Amino acid sequence: MKITTIILAAGKGTRMRSQLPKILHNIANKPLLQHVYDMSRQLTNNAIKIVYGHGADLVRETLKDLDVTWIEQQQQLGTGHAVQQVSHEITESDTVLILYGDVPLLKLATVEQLIVNVSDTSLALLTVDLLDPTGYGRIVRNAAGQVIKIVEEKDATPIEKQIIEGNTGILAVQGKHLKKWLSQLTNNNAQGEYYLTDIIEMAVADGVTILTTQPETIDEVLGVNNRIQLSHLERIYQLEQANRLMELGVTLIDPARFDLRGSIENLGVDIIIDVNVIIEGKNSIGNNVTIGANTSITNSIIADDVVILANCILDNAVVGKGSKIGPYARLRPETVLAENVHIGNFVELKKSSVAAFSKINHLSYIGDSTVGANVNIGAGTITCNYDGVNKFRTIIEDGAFIGSDTQLIAPVTIGKNATIGAGSTITKDSPENQLTLSRAKQISLAAWQRPVKLENQATGNKVLAETLIKDK
Ligand code: UD1
Ligand code: CA
C-alpha cells in the first residue's frame, strides 16, 4: 500500500500571540510540525506533503531538512481548501492520510490502526469522546449507529451540540474518492470556509462506509492553540518520556521535574537523576551514574559509575568511567575526561582533555589544554589561552603538580612530574621533575605604620589623616 500523508500546517495560530508561526513552537525543543513529521516518517512507503502558509519563509527555512513536498496555501480558506491544494499530487490508488501540524502527540500505533480501515468502500475516521466537545466538529450517527456526517460547532443545532463524539480532524481515505469529493466542496456554511469534513456526507452518499477508531488517550489528539495548551502538552510529553526511562531502569526522584529535550541513545541502568535535571540533544549515559539536582547536560557522553553533583553544566563533553564532577562545574564543548577524573566546584573546562586520575578541584579555568594522568591542579589555576586574537595550547604532562593561584601563559608545556610553586605566572616551559616558580621575594617593613583615622574638627567625622592634611 502506498500512502500519501498530507499535514495541514498553514494556519496562523492567532491565539499564540506570537511572531512565530504556531507550528514552529516547540515541544521538548522540537517544532510541533517536526513531531508530526517524525511520527509519519515511520510509516513505510509514505510520501509526505505539507500544506503551509503563515510564516512561509520561516517555516521552509527552519524545516528545510524534512523529506517532504511543500505546498503553499496562500489564503487559508478552510481545511477542505487546504487539502484541495494537494489534489494534483494525489494518485488514485494511494491511501491518503490527513494529519494536523499542530497536533503533535499522535502515536504511530493509532495511525496504523486507522489506515487499515481504508478501502474502496470505506473511509477511516479518528474520533474522540470528550467531556467538553466545545469547538469540535460533532460526529452525527443514524439510529443504526452509522456515521452520516460531521457538523461543525458553528453550524450545529442545539441537539447536535449535545453529541460528545468529536472529530479529531485526522482521517484516511482512498485517493480516488478524495479527489472526487474535494472537487465538490462548497463554502456554504456559517464560516464561509471549505470544510474537509463535508466529504463524510459525500462518502455516505456514494455508499462508502465511515469506520471510526479512537486513540488510546485523548492526549494524542490534543491540538495546540495557545501557550497554555502548549505547556500542557509539554508536560504530557515529558511525563511519557520519564515513565519510559523509569521502565528502562532509571530512578527519577521526581518525574514531574525532569526534562528530556532530545534523546539518550545509550542508556545504562541504575542511573539516579535528582530534580530539575535537563538533558538536551543526543546523549549517552552509562550504568550507575548519579546526576545531581539542577544539572544541565547537552550532547554529552557519560560513562559508567560517574557522579555528577548538583548545579553542573555539561555541553558537548565526554566524561570517563568513575569520574566525579561538581558541584557547580562547567564542562564546555570538546572537554574530554578519561577515567576517575575529579572536577570540583567552580571549575570551567573548554576544548581540553584530562587523562586518568587527574584532579582539578577548585576555582579553575582550563581551556585549550592537554592534561596528562595523575595531574593535580591547585585552586585558582588559570590557563591564559587567549591573547585577544589567537588561542594557544597548554600542555601539562603526567604527574605534574600545579600550585594554587597559578597562571599558565600559553603556549606552554609543564613537564612530567614537574611542580609549579603556588602563585606563579608561568611563561616558559617548565622542565620535568623540577620545581618551577615565579614570585616576587617576600619582604617585611619593620618601620611601616598603619594609617590612622583622625577627627575633622569642623564636621566631627572621622577621616583619614592624609585627607585632613590636604583640606588645609
Ligand atoms: C477542524 C475540523 C473540526 C475538528 C477540529 C479538531 C474542519 C472544517 N473542522 O476544526 O471538525 O473537530 O479541526 O481540531 O475541518 N488549516 C490549514 N489551512 C486552512 C485551515 C486550516 O492548513 O485553510 C490547518 C490548520 O493550520 C490546523 C488544521 O488545519 O492545523 C485545523 O484547522 P483549524 O482551523 O484548527 O480547524 P478547526 O476549525 O478547529
Ligand atoms: Ca484547531
35 is annotated as an active-site residue = no
- Ligand 1: which of 23, 79, 196, 222 to mutate, judged by most atoms within 8 Å of the beta carbon? 79
* pLDDT for the residue numbered 345: 98
Look at residues 353, 364, 367, 345 and name the one whose alpha carbon lies nearest to residue 403: 364
CA of 127 to the centre of ligand 2 (A): 14
Whether ligand 1 lies within 6 angstroms of the CB of 150 is answered as yes
Residues 6 or more apart in contact with residue 282 via CB below 8 angstroms: 262, 263, 265, 299
* pLDDT for the residue numbered 452: 87
The chain-wide mean pLDDT, for the chain, equals 96
Contact by Cβ (8 Å): 81, 148? no
Whether ligand 1 lies within 6 angstroms of the CB of 11 is answered as yes
For the chain, what percent of residues have pLDDT higher than 70? Answer: 98
- Report d(CA 178, CA 200) in Å as an integer: 10
Burial of 392 (0-12, 13-18, 19+ CB in 10 A): middle
C-alpha cell at 17: 500571540
* pLDDT for the residue numbered 293: 98
Size of the chain in residues: 472
Which ligand 1 atom lies nearest to the CA of residue 152?
A: 11
Contact by Cβ (8 Å): 142, 60? no
Residue 467 confidence (pLDDT) above 70: no
* pLDDT for the residue numbered 472: 46
Q: What residue owns the CA closest to ligand 1's atom 1? A: 169
CA of 186 to the centre of ligand 2 (A): 20
C-alpha cell at 309: 553533583
User: Which tens digits make up the pLDDT trace of 285-300?
Assistant: 999 999 999 999 999 9
* pLDDT for the residue numbered 468: 54
User: Which tens digits make up the pLDDT trace of 419-428?
Assistant: 999 999 999 9
Q: Hey, do 3-221 and 227-436 end up sharing a CATH topology, with the first three levels equal? A: no
CATH among 3.40.50.720, 2.160.10.10, 2.40.40.20, 1.10.10.10 for 227-436: 2.160.10.10
Nearest ligand, measured from the Cα of 75: 1
Q: Which of 55-64, 241-250, 433-442, 452-461 has the lowest mean pLDDT?
A: 452-461
Q: What type of residue is 339?
A: E
User: Which tens digits make up the pLDDT trace of 268-287?
Assistant: 999 999 999 999 999 999 99
Q: What angle do CA 197, 109, 35 make, to 5 degrees?
A: 75
Residue 361 confidence (pLDDT) above 80: yes
Contact by Cβ (8 Å): 272, 292? no
CA 73 to each of CA 81, 186, 204, 425: distance values in angstroms, whole numbers, following the listed order: 8, 17, 28, 66
**First-residue to last-residue Cα distance in the chain:** 101
Residue 471 confidence (pLDDT) above 60: no
Q: Which of 25, 54, 177, 362 is catalytic?
A: 362
* pLDDT for the residue numbered 453: 83
User: Which tens digits make up the pLDDT trace of 227-255?
Assistant: 999 999 999 999 999 999 999 999 999 99
Whether ligand 1 lies within 6 angstroms of the CB of 77 is answered as yes
C-alpha cell at 290: 548519579
Contact by Cβ (8 Å): 365, 382? yes
CATH among 1.10.1740.10, 3.90.550.10, 3.40.80.10, 1.10.760.10 for 3-221: 3.90.550.10
Look at residues 402, 335, 393 and name the one whose alpha carbon lies nearest to residue 363: 402
Whether ligand 1 lies within 6 angstroms of the CB of 169 is answered as yes
Residue 85 confidence (pLDDT) above 80: yes
Q: For the chain, what are the domain ranges?
A: 3-221, 227-436
* pLDDT for the residue numbered 465: 65
Look at residues 296, 372, 298, 312 and name the one whose alpha carbon lies nearest to residue 345: 312
Helix, strand, coil percentages for the chain (3-state, nearest 5)? 20, 35, 45
CA 414 to chain centre: 41
Whether ligand 1 lies within 6 angstroms of the CB of 250 is answered as no
Whether ligand 1 lies within 6 angstroms of the CB of 136 is answered as yes
Q: Tell me: cis bond preceding 327? Omega within 30 of 0 counts.
A: yes
Residue 316 confidence (pLDDT) above 70: yes
- Report d(CA 215, CA 197) in Å as an integer: 19
Contact by Cβ (8 Å): 194, 185? yes
Nearest ligand, measured from the Cα of 152: 1
For the chain, what percent of residues have pLDDT higher than 90? Answer: 94
Q: What residue owns the CA closest to ligand 1's atom 8? A: 195
R_g of the chain, CA atoms, integer Å: 33
What does the pLDDT average to over 20-43?
98
Q: State whether residue 90 is helix, strand or coil.
A: coil
Q: What residue owns the CA closest to ligand 1's atom 12? A: 136
